[in-house]
Structures are given as C-alpha cells and as structure tokens.
Structure 1
Amino acid sequence: MTRPTTPLLDQLSGPEALRDMEAGTLRRLADELRAEVISAVSETGGHLGSSLGVVELTLAIHAVFNTPVDKLVFDVGHQCYPHKVLTGRRDRIRSLRQKDGLSGFTKRAESAYDPFGAAHSSTSISAALGFTVARDMGKPTGDAIAVIGDGAISAGMAYEAMNNAGAEGRRLFVILNDNEMSIAPPVGAMSAYLSSQYPSNPLHRMKSLAEGMESALPGPMREGARRARELVTGQGGQSGALFEALGFDYLGPIDGHDMGQLLTVLRSARARATGPVLIHCCTVKGKGYAPAEKAADCGHGVSKFDPDTGVQAKSSGGPPAYTKVFGSALTEAAARDPDVVAVTAAMPSGTGVNIMAERFPGRVFDVGIAEQHAVTFCAAMAAEGLKPFAAIYSTFLQRAYDQVVHDVALQGLPVRFAIDRAGLVGADGATHAGAFDVGYLSTLPGFTVMAAADEAELVHMVETARQHEAGPIAFRYPRGAGTGVALPETPQALEIGRGRVISEGSDVAFLSFGAHLAEVQAAAALLAEEGISATVADARFAKPLDMALVGQLARHHGALLTVEQGAEGGFGARVLQGLAASGALDRGLAVRNLHLPDRFIDQASPAEMYADAGLTARDIAAAALSALGRDANVVPLRA
C-alpha cells in the first residue's frame, strides 16, 4: 500500500515547532496530517470520521497553547488520532487498537500530552476544571482546554461541570466541536439549539462576549464581532445566551476548518480571557475524505479499508452477531406485544435497536448520551405498564448505577436491561470492557441477572425478560459473532433461577455462566483425552442462583469450577456464598473460581485478551487438574 507523501510532517519535531509556523504552512500540514490519519486507519480500523473532523482544530490548539504544560483534554477521545501523530507517536500510529500498540483513546500512560484518559463521554469539562484549580493552587500546570463534541455536551455531567466552572469563574477554555453528528444523529433540544447558531451573514461568524477581545481582532472583523456580541447578550438574538447564563464567555460559531480564523480566535481568547470561555467551533465529521463524509455515520467506526476507494474489508461471514440476534428477537417480541418499547443512549445500531426502529419507529427512543436519564425514563414507563428494554453497553450502564439502584431496584420496577458488550471487547480495550455488571447488579435486592451462553439462549432470554413482571431483570451477552447454533423458531421463557446440564461426567464439574460455555466444553474435551470425566453445566442465572443444581454438582464431583467472563466478586463469588451457606464446603469440596484477573487488560483481539486473563480452554483444564490434585503438565498453563 502506497503511503502519502508528507514532507512537512516528516520534519516536524513536536508541537512546539507549530508555534513558529504561518497559517499557510499549517494549512499544508493539515492536508498531510489528514492523509496520514487516513492511511494509518486504513490499516488498523478505528474512529476515522471524528479524527478527520478535528485535524485543523488540533493543529491550531497545539500551535497556540503551550502543551503539555497547558492541558489539552479530549472528550471521549476517539478524535485524538491527529493529536497522537503530532505528539511523538507517529512511529506507532499503525499500531492503533492492536495488542501492545497505541490505545484508540487518550491514555495518561502513553504520553505527557495525554493529561487525562478518556473513552467515556462528557468528562472533559470536569477534568479541565480540576486542572485549573490545581494551577490556581500553585501546581506546575498551565491553562486547561477541553474539546467536547455536540453529542457529548448533551449529557448531564457536562452541564454539572459547566455550572460549577461558571460559578468558580476561573480561567479555562471549552471548545465545543459541533459537527452535528455524534455516533448517531444527535437528538433533543441541544442539537436543535446548536443548529440554530449557523448564521448566513459572514460577519456573524464570530461572536465575542468579552468586549476587550474585539480590540485584539483585525480591523475588518471588529464590527462583525461587535454585532455578534449583541446577539449573544440578547440584544437582537439568543445565540450563545445559554452558555453565558452558565457563566461562560461565548465565542463563535467559528469555522473549524479555517486555519486563519481558528488561530485568530484561539490567540485572542488566550490573550484576553480571565474566566471560563466557550468557543463554538463548527466542523465536518470525516472532513477531507469523501467516503467518510458521504457515509451515514461519517465513518465513525471503520474496519480496515482501501484508502483509495473507502471500501471496508468485509467480514468472512459466519454466524450473526449477538447484537443483531438481540435486535431481531426484540423486534419480534414487539410485534407480539404492543407494550414493548426500547430505549438506547445514542447507540441505536451499536445495540441493535435500530432493527426495531425500522419497523416500530414510535416505540424506540434514543435519548442521546444520557444513560442516567435513560434508566429513570424506563423506570417511569415500567411503572405505567409498558415493558421497556434499556439496551445499553455494560461499560456505559456503569454511568447510571444510582438510577438502577434508586429508581429501578428500590421501587421494584420491571425494567429490562439488555446488556451488550459483556466481557472483554477487543480493540476498544479496558475502557469498554464489560467486566463488572454481574457484580454491581447481583447485589441489588429483587434483581434477576441472566447471561446468554449462545445466541439461541439470547433469544429465549429476550422472551423471558418480556414476560417478567416481578421486578428488574437483566441479561448480558458479548460483542461479536455467535457460536453458530440454530436459532429457535419460537422463543420460550426460561424458568427463573433454573440452570441446565449440558453434559454429564463424574470427576469434575464445570458451572459456566454466560458466553464462555464453548471454551468450557473445549476444556472438558481436553480432560477427556486424559481420561478425566467432566460435567458441564450452564447456570443461566447468577441471581437467583440455581442452588439445587449447585448442590448436585457439589455432591457428586471431587471438584467444582465456576467460569465467567467477568470480574472477581461476580458469579463465582455468589456460588461460593451459596455453597458456604448450605454447608457444602464443610466436607472439603475443592472449588475454583475462574474469572477476569484483578487488573485492567489492554486492547488486543478478544482471544488474546482472554488468553491474557488465563481463561483459555487449556487454562481451564489445567485449573481443573490442579483442583483434583493431578499433574497439570498434560495441559500446561501458558508460559
């Protein structure tokens, strides 16, 4: 694959060199930087559109501010690829999202230019305010600059931070990267508000809220700034009034691809600001790469692709993805039951509810990046007899835990939680791992917690959740393709709290919870080759736990191993607690809990990540041999 010619970028020593460049040179460098990002992501896959949209903005920020003394905080972080190229990581940019490579998000351990790690939305303003207070209390740090998208700024945490920052009155900079496109088209009043900010008169492109800033602008722009400021302060319009009400000086909207305008505004703001400033910067997601600009999602997340055509590498086929199976099963459930509704937090295609939306658009609600609101919204609908399915990634449901506890569990409301991306997720790494949901949900009174061992079980669990009215219920399933089992023509509701035996043996028992069942069966096959007979059971439920099944396994086997794709303190801990309470441990039963280790696991392929976690079939078989007191060398642990 031919790589782009980048003479300016090749000579760049670091961000400090940008501060001596003229606007014209920076424009040419932007073209090279954009080409480099396209070339790199074509080899690795990743978040293309968001990174292309901030090329000029990233260059301008580094050219104006004194990073890394000044703290540049990207919100979510999936737009940080140009930033990584500029800050000493170009030689590793083609390792993005790969094992032992660069993270796809900002990460403190990678570089001093990444002062704050990010991968979840709407944290940047809070972090920037923290850096600002540290500066004002004498720590060796400079200004703080938060770059937040129009989708991310719709979340409540962003407003909590802006309200606090406005009240504090400290000097900090928030750059609103407004491309009118987050992962899915932004929803709600904030999107409409920002859309209204695009003026037709070129003189209104920059609206200064600080009168002293006008004098710092070139002569031809001063009148436009004065007239724009009148609009912002309510003397002829409401542009920016919301941000000013929160205590921010508002500047914009400005063209985020006009290097001259960016440099002028950022330099003016840096020279004149005394308190919090919000700079409204309008960009185009996927800018400069036609295939991304034309794509429905503007190339938000792409697999490897041909940079000349934009055509992405096709999957090799095989079983459908769990997400698609869920979306189809939910749609069929909705066809049978008019009370079924679905709620997602800015991830309709990511969670599969877009499939239902195509058929029942009035019963699917995308609330934007607002997981807390999504859960309480579902709670009230459940209180009135609707059957809401809250389709949220495991890692994002963490953001709404108080609402799960207070608004759902405490009131015993039958909200159905469809938890996608359970377990380790691959290239997105530790920030998106679904490791903790079993632990944080199973502790809650009245909760039912399930995990699908395969895609057929997922179909049955959707139906189980639909019929369940006794309280909140959750079912978890992984990212990626299913196992290839036949899908049931007619879904059946599972008996609550009842597991199943997959195969029977006599020496050792495996009790699997969730999608690691196939690996457990492979471990049993390895043991069989050594003459060791294993029972394999699928728990299906972490809560209520099938203690009849657990007791049977404990009585009839020399060792019992639990296996799960979650953190310690989850399913295995519940089994141990049940065994202890029943007295099953009193006779010396050998028990082993196999789960994710007590550390975060960096990005790699899911198979590599589970190998790192010690959860391969060979690892599981070796643990069984150890529990039986036999030689584990026949199926040795990883080196």
Structure 2
Amino acid sequence: MEIAPGALLQTINSPADIKKLDRLQLHQLCDELRQYIIDVVSVHGGHFAASLGVVELTVALHYIYNTPYDQLVWDVGHQAYGHKVLTGRRENFISNRKYKGISGFPKRSESEYDTFGVGHSSTSISAALGIAMAAKYKKENRKSVAIIGDGAMTAGMAFEGLNHAGVADADMLVVLNDNGIGIDPNVGALKEYLTDITTSQTYNKLRDDVWNLLGKLPVGKRFTRDMASKLETGIKGLISKRSNLFESLNFRYFGPIDGHNITKLVDTLYDLKNIPGPKLLHIITTKGKGYALAEKDQTKWHAPGLFDKVTGEIYKKVYDTPQPPKYQDVFGKTIIELAEKNPLIMGITPAMPSGSSLKFMMEAMPNRAFDVGICEQHAVTLSAGLATQGMKVFCNVYSSFMQRAYDQAVHDVAIQKLPVIFCLDRAGLVGEDGPTHHGAYDIAYFRCIPNMIISAPMNEQELRNLMYTAQLEETKLPFVIRYPRGEGVMQNWQTPFEKLEIGKGRKLKDGNDVAVLTIGHPGNFATVAIRQLRTEGIDAAHYDLRFIKPIDEALLHEVFAKHSKIITVEDGTIIGGFGAAVLEFMAKYNYTAEVKTLGIPDRIVEHGTLKELHAECGYDANGIAATARAMMQDSVRVKVELLG
C-alpha cells in the first residue's frame, strides 16, 4: 500500500526546504506532516501519540534553527517521527522499526540530524549542555536545544543537567514539552508545580495583559521585551510562590505558551535564539494532537499497533485457540494474590505501571503499590528503605532501565543484604524498540554482585513460584526474577503456589548424545529443537537450571559426568552470562567437554521482530538444532578420521 504525503510535504527533503516557505505555509505543512504520521503508523505500526503532539514544535525548530549545524537533542526519541520525516527520511519512513529499516529513535549513525542517540529518558539536557560547552570552547556560534517532556523532567539526571547548565555559562535552550503524560500519567511534585503555573488564570491573564499593553507603548522593541521580562518575573513571584524553580537554577524562563500555535512558536524561538545563556521555554501541548481518540486515551494510543485510522479500530491478532497471557500480566495478577495473603508486600515501578502491569495492584491496593516517576535510582533505594522495615518489596523495572540504577543495586541493596525483589520485565531481546531497550546485560551485571539470587522462569507457572519463593520470610537476600516481553506458553497458568529450592534446577529430559542447558523462556525453544532432533536420530537431554546464581552445581556435576557435548542457551549476552557461568564451573572442577554458548552475541543487536532477532542471534529452535547437529557431525567426522 503506497502512502502519499501531502502536496507541500512532498517538496520537503531537508530543513533547507522548510526555510523556503512563508509563515502561512507552515500551517499547511504541520497539517500534512501530522496526517502523514497517522497514515504511516496506522498501517506500519510504531509509537503514535507522542509525535503528533510535537508536530508544530518540530517544524518551528527546523524553520528557525540552522540544523544540523545547530543541534537538536530529542529526549527519549519516540516523539521524533516528524523530525525524521523532515530530515530526508520521508521515503524510508515506512521501514520505521522494521528489520533492517530505520530506527524508531534518533540514531547518530542514521543521520547527521540525529545529534544524539536516545531511547531512555532524561538524557537530553546533559547531552545538549555538552554540545553547548564544546561550541563555547571551540568558539563556534552553534546553538544547542534539548527537547524534553515533563515526564522525563522528573528524573534526577534532568535536574543534574539543569543544575550544571545554570552555572556553565553555555548558550543552550531547553524546551519543556508539558503535556501531563509520559506513557502513563505523570506523577510527583513537579507535575503539581507545572500545573500550578499553567492553570493559574490570574497569572496568565495578568501576564498577557502586560505583554499586550507594552506592545502598544511607543518604546523600542528591545526595551519593551526587557521590561516585559522583568515585569513577568515579578508577576510570577506575586501570583505563585513556587514559580521560581527554573530561575533559581539560573535559567531564564519563558512561557507557558501554546505548543500548537506555530506562529507563536516561530516568533518565540526566533527571539530566544538571540538571547545568550541557559534558557527554558515551557510549552503546553496535547499528546495525540489531531487524532481525537489519541487525545482522549493517550496511554492506549502511545503505541497502539496497527489500526484503522478512520474508525479507530485497533487490529488484534485473531487466534483459533485461546492464547497464553503476557508475562507482565502474570506478574501483575500474581502480586495481588500474594499481597492478599502477605500484608508486608509492596510494589514499586519507575513510570511503567501499564507496561509492567503493576497498575492492577495500584488500582486494587493504592496504599501498597506506587509509580515513582522516571526515577530508577530512587525506585531501588526507596525499595531498600522499605526493606529495612521488614517490607517485601517487588521493584518492577524493565531490564534495560535497571542499568540506570546499578550503583543503587550494589550499594543500597546487595551490600546490606536487603531482600528487595527485582522483577526485570523485558529481559532479553525486545523487538522493534531495538538496542536501547534490549534487556541483554542483566545476567552479566548482576551475576558479579555478591549476595544476589538470580533466576528466570521457563513459563508462567515458574514465574508464579519464583515470586512466591522470593517473598517468603526465610528468603533473606536480594532476589532477581527476569522474564521476557510478550506471551508465555501456558493457558492454564494460575496453578497453586509451590516453594522452589533456591539454586536448584531440574532435568526435563534425559538423553545420551548432547546436553542442552537453558535458563528462562528460551528453554521452550530448546524443547522444540530437541523434538526435531529426535526425528533425526539425535538424542538430546534438556536441563532447565532456573537459577543462574547460585547455580545448581550438583546438577552440573551430573551433566558433565555424562556428556562431552553441551549447549547453553540464554536470552542474555554470552559475555559474562549463563553460559560463562557453566564454563567457569567446568574450569573450576577440571571437566573436559565441548561447550557451545548460544545467546546474544558481543555486538549491538538492532531492531526487528522477536522471531527475526532470535534467528539472527542463533538461539531460536532452528539455531539450537543446527548447533547440536553440527556438533554431532563434527563428532562423526573426528571418529572417521581416527579410524582412517
């Protein structure tokens, strides 16, 4: 299906083409850009509502600034679809987030207009400040702009960047895109502060009256603006005692202004471009702007999948039989079951209540489950603080986001032996979100920390049992449970809870030719591979270790005593991962065997469907079977050579 851009958008191949337009044409360009995003995403999928909300801002920034010499840094990046379309990638936009296609996020290797690679939130201010400081040092007249949402502004790193920028004397602009929502509704005191500014009718009316009055006075424009700025500062202090947050960090604050008024945006950015030093422009936008359903339910339409743009029907896969639940939903429903029996259980998530399914507990037990905002470090140390008081805290963090709180996991949890339960959602490869979101490293970075228990369920029943075991009174150490994005394998998953022996694996199938050792969900790939190998006359054993740390040494002694050909399978990096742990065991006890480690290779894996990426990395069922087949062929070849 060919998707044609509007007549004006067809002529835009770079920001230089935008600058040729008169200001009235910018309205048409915004309308066509917004419609093109709707047309493409409805058919090809991707993030949706975020980019619709910043169409006018995107056009205005490229119209006023000399990009790519002037550098725009988009925070998180899923709002940068319009930016990609306007910077020479319109014809490739249908490949967005597809295997071998363009990334769903800004990516430096993809375009010179993507000045900084992003995917996690709250990095834009620090990066833009670094760019501005370099420009100052090299005496370049390069402008630096960070575009950050109000949700991303809740993270500590954003405040760290603001704090430094206020004293760095660097020429940079921070655009605060205030729409009241990230993926889920924003939380915290900053949200209340911004609401206080944007909803103060007294302040906004008085400010507008002052601007209108001064605009009519027979004085110089510069003097008028300087006077207006001083009066506006006074008004802020008079109306809202809390309105000096950004000024207290030495930022000149401007706004709030309507982020969908392209004329106002262009005029304001033109003025701000010529004001030196750190500045913050506060704009008010609507996430999903221009698509009514997305405006009404912004969480649902953050990334809805394929849909009918006319009716709004979101297409769901149709199956002949009932499908297993998603792992995150198993977590979300199981924690409620456990919390009903154990009053000490609490749930914490950093801004992902819907994605992690902690929202179920937040609705059922609002005094025991909390969204703390995009604050992974705070989430972990908050959980540690609760644990010191005897609480059993399930801290649910996406695997790739957990990287942001590594020091807290070591310093605040592991050293103190606090029994925080880390539920790492989206462990392993995650698909179309790509390398910034792959949960590739958690096994390796947790395995080297003392006092950590690290586990991974092969199915929904195992996830429930691991959660049950982790919250028991006798479990005294930090407990990691990692599980992948998407559906499991069991329809009837709500089985009675069973206590698991920590550090104990299980033999699922005996065999004589090769042993396949798995951890977590890829054990299901191994089951399929072993079934296929059996039809080829290869008898493979299957061991599900359940725990990476402590690893089941008794089971591994059994494996190495019987098998000389061993395959390890994991959905984590093979460097320092589960396979590495098996090799360390082999070296420790002086075993000799041929061991092949399958998992995520030592390179950055790009985006694509899970099926495509598992196949590329070689640990899907076909990859496991092929590895076993090759090992057996090598064995036959060696025997033939010896006999010859």
Contact 1:456 1:487 in 2 (8 A): yes
Distance in 1 (CA, whole Å) between partners of 2:163 and 2:298 is 34
State which of 583, 604, 607 in structure 2 corresponds to 1:603.
607
How many Å apart are 1:202 and its aligned residue?
A: 4.3
Q: Does 1:366 align with 2:368?
A: no
How many Å apart are 1:630 and its aligned residue?
A: 3.1
Distance in 2 (CA, whole Å) between partners of 1:239 and 1:180 is 18
What does 1:579-598 correspond to in 2, within 5 Å? 579-583=586-590, 585=591, 588-598=592-602
1:13–1:335 Cα change, 3 Å = same
Secondary structure (helix, strand or coil) at the match of 1:536 reads strand
Distance in 1 (CA, whole Å) between partners of 2:517 and 2:141 is 52
Contact 1:323 1:350 in 2 (8 A): yes
Secondary structure (helix, strand or coil) at the match of 2:197 reads coil
Residue aligning to 1:523: 529
Q: TM-score, normalised by structure 1?
A: 0.94
Q: Does 1:165 align with 2:165?
A: yes
How many Å apart are 1:128 and its aligned residue?
A: 0.3
Contact 1:345 1:368 in 2 (8 A): yes
What does 1:9-158 correspond to in 2, within 5 Å? 9-138=9-138, 142-158=142-158
How many Å apart are 1:193 and its aligned residue?
A: 0.4
Distance in 2 (CA, whole Å) between partners of 1:279 and 1:152 is 15
Distance in 2 (CA, whole Å) between partners of 1:156 and 1:207 is 35
Residue aligning to 1:315: 317
State which of 244, 253, 256 in structure 2 corresponds to 1:253.
256
How many Å apart are 1:330 and its aligned residue?
A: 0.9
Distance in 1 (CA, whole Å) between partners of 2:480 and 2:263 is 52
Residue aligning to 1:636: none
State which of 259, 283, 286 in structure 2 corresponds to 1:284.
286
Residue aligning to 2:355: 350
What does 1:571-582 correspond to in 2, within 5 Å? 571-582=578-589
State which of 564, 575, 579 in structure 1 corresponds to 2:570.
564
| Structure 1 alignment gaps of length 5 or more | 634-639
Q: RMSD across aligned C-alpha pairs, in angstroms?
A: 2.3
How many Å apart are 1:469 and its aligned residue?
A: 2.7
| Structure 2 alignment gaps of length 5 or more | 638-644
Q: Does 1:196 align with 2:209?
A: no
Contact 1:438 1:571 in 2 (8 A): yes
Contact 1:231 1:239 in 2 (8 A): no
State which of 294, 297, 302 in structure 2 corresponds to 1:295.
297
1:111–1:120 Cα change, 3 Å = same
Residue aligning to 1:612: 616
Contact 1:131 1:141 in 2 (8 A): no
How many Å apart are 1:534 and its aligned residue?
A: 0.9
1:169–1:140 Cα change, 3 Å = closer
Distance in 2 (CA, whole Å) between partners of 1:69 and 1:369 is 31
Q: Which amino acid aligns with 1:535?
A: A
Q: Deviations over 1:285-343 (max 9, x none)?
A: 10111010011516211101111122211133511111111111111011111111000
Distance in 2 (CA, whole Å) between partners of 1:207 and 1:358 is 45
Contact 1:42 1:305 in 2 (8 A): yes
Q: TM-score, normalised by structure 2?
A: 0.93
How many Å apart are 1:260 and its aligned residue?
A: 1.4
Contact 1:184 1:348 in 2 (8 A): yes
Distance in 2 (CA, whole Å) between partners of 1:308 and 1:244 is 45
**Dislocated runs of 4+, deviation >4 Å:** 1-5, 205-208, 214-226
Aligned length: 625
Residue aligning to 2:640: none
Q: Which amino acid aligns with 2:257?
A: I
What does 1:163-242 correspond to in 2, within 5 Å? 163-198=163-198, 199-200=200-201, 201-202=204-205, 204=207, 225=229, 227-232=231-236, 234-238=237-241, 240-242=243-245
Q: Which amino acid aligns with 2:585?
A: G
Residue aligning to 2:641: none
How many Å apart are 1:619 and its aligned residue?
A: 1.9
How many Å apart are 1:602 and its aligned residue?
A: 1.0
Q: Deviations over 1:4-54 (max 9, x none)?
A: 661111122321222243332101110011000111110122211110000
Distance in 2 (CA, whole Å) between partners of 1:556 and 1:274 is 72
% identity of equivalent residues: 43
Residue aligning to 1:266: 269
Distance in 2 (CA, whole Å) between partners of 1:67 and 1:309 is 38
Secondary structure (helix, strand or coil) at the match of 2:119 reads coil
Secondary structure (helix, strand or coil) at the match of 2:367 reads helix
Q: Deviations over 1:507-556 (max 9, x none)?
A: 11111001101111122123212212111010000000000001101111
Distance in 1 (CA, whole Å) between partners of 2:296 and 2:597 is 49
Q: Deviations over 1:171-208 (max 9, x none)?
A: 10100000011111111100000111114244536999
Distance in 1 (CA, whole Å) between partners of 2:636 and 2:89 is 43
State which of 465, 473, 476 in structure 1 corresponds to 2:470.
465
- Between stretches 521-530 and 84-93, larger displacement belongs to 521-530
Residue aligning to 2:556: 550
1:100–1:2 Cα change, 3 Å = closer
Distance in 1 (CA, whole Å) between partners of 2:4 and 2:88 is 19
Q: Which amino acid aligns with 2:262?
A: M
Contact 1:322 1:455 in 2 (8 A): yes
- Between stretches 129-138 and 338-347, larger displacement belongs to 129-138
